[in-house]
Amino acid sequence: MEAFLVSLTSVAIAEIGDRTQLLSLALAAHYRKPYLIVAGIFLATIANHSIAGLLGAWFGRLLTPTVLDVMVGVSMVAMAIWVLRADTLNPGTEVSSRSAFIATLLTFFIAEIGDKTQIATLALAAAYPNLVAVVTGTTIAMLIANIPAVFLGDALSGRLPIRQMNYVASLLFGVLGAVFIIRALM
């Protein structure tokens, strides 16, 4: 349960203001097919985070628990710093005229490659032995953060205090990083 809850909360907070959330807004504004967009986000996230989780689990088996805790702790502290850099979506970004589902599936999968939430999934999968709990937690977190963006579109985007939310996310990652580092040192 811990793996699921840590994965859920850390990724949900990290996703606020992330480029994939901004992509959700853009796709919703362009296609106006929210259910197809949500389905594309869901499948792209499962695929992307499953790959990251499998890689993380593989790395996790190769390392001693102490080294693993230090690596996860350091990666979480790095995530805390990374979250402070707000993502933006370039206004000139063109969205394919294909179906809303296919466009969302492809663009979301690609946008998640190397994203902070994918790296967090990799690190969490390395730290926790329950891969299903980690991938489920990170996938649900992505949906929690992106479904409102899809259904509300940009109606709320100008009103959300993204910068303050990034500070909270940074604090959360910093605390998680410190917990793993302290656990490694004990």
pLDDT of residue 159: 58
Domain count of the fold of the chain = 1
pLDDT of residue 19: 72
Asked if 2 and 130 count as a contact pair (C-beta separation under 8 A), the reply is no
Reduce the secondary structure of 9-63 to three states and give it as a string.
HHHHHHHCCCHHHHHHHHHHHHHCCHHHHHHHHHHHHHHHHHHHHHHHHHHHHHC
User: What type of residue sits at position 186?
Assistant: M
What the block records as the tokens of 168 is 């909270």
**Phi, psi for 99 (deg, rounded to 5):** -60, 155
pLDDT of residue 184: 85
What the block records as the tokens of 186 is 């004990």
Range of the domain at 32: 2-185
User: pLDDT digit of tens for each residue in the chain (186 aa)?
Assistant: 889 999 999 888 888 777 778 778 777 777 778 899 999 999 999 999 999 999 989 987 887 778 777 877 787 787 677 767 655 555 544 544 458 899 889 888 888 887 788 888 998 998 898 999 999 999 999 999 999 888 876 555 455 565 666 677 678 778 878 887 898 898
Threshold 0.85, pTM exceeds: no
